[in-house]
Amino acid sequence: MKRSQSIRLLLLGGLSTVALTGCQQKPSVSTGNVYTNNFYVPGTGYYHAPFRNWYALPYNHFDPLKQLYFYGGQWGPQPFESITNLSSPTPEAVQLAQNTRTDISRGGFGNSYGGHSWGGGYSGFHS
C-alpha cells in the first residue's frame, strides 16, 4: 500500500469516529422506564417520583429564606415523606421532557428554536 493511501485511510477513519461520536443520542425518556427522585434531565429538571413528573427544583429542596421545602410543584413546612422513591412518569410528563430537554441534538441548520417558557400552562414546572 502506498504511503499517501494509508494516510487517507487513517484520516477517513478518524473523521468517521468523530462523526459517529457526535451523533450519539441520550436515552429517551419513556413511561416504560422508572426514575428515582432527583433524576436530572438537562433543560427539563428533576424527577419527583411520588408525583411522576419533572420540576425545576430538586425533590425536597429546602429554601433557607422561605424556610420551606419544595416537592411536587408546591412548598411545605416539612419535607415530603413518601415510600415512593422510584416510578414511571406520566405520558404528559414524558412528552414535555422530550420537548424541553437540552442534552440531545435536534439536528437541522442553525438555531430555529427560540427557547421555552416554564409557564406554558403546565403546572409541573411552576415553583
Sequence ranges of the domains in the chain: 27-105+121-127
Fill in the amino acid letter for 67.
Answer: Q
Q: How far is CA 83 from CA 1, 36, 37, 87, in A?
A: 66, 12, 11, 11
Q: pLDDT per residue over 90-101, tens digit each? A: 999 999 998 998
Q: What is the pLDDT of residue 54?
A: 96
Q: pLDDT per residue over 35-69, tens digit each? A: 999 999 999 999 999 999 999 999 999 999 999 99
Q: How far is CA 62 from CA 59, 68, 111, 115, 116, in A?
A: 9, 6, 36, 28, 26
Phi and psi torsions of 38, nearest 5°: 70, 15
Sign of CA dihedral 101, 102, 103, 107: positive
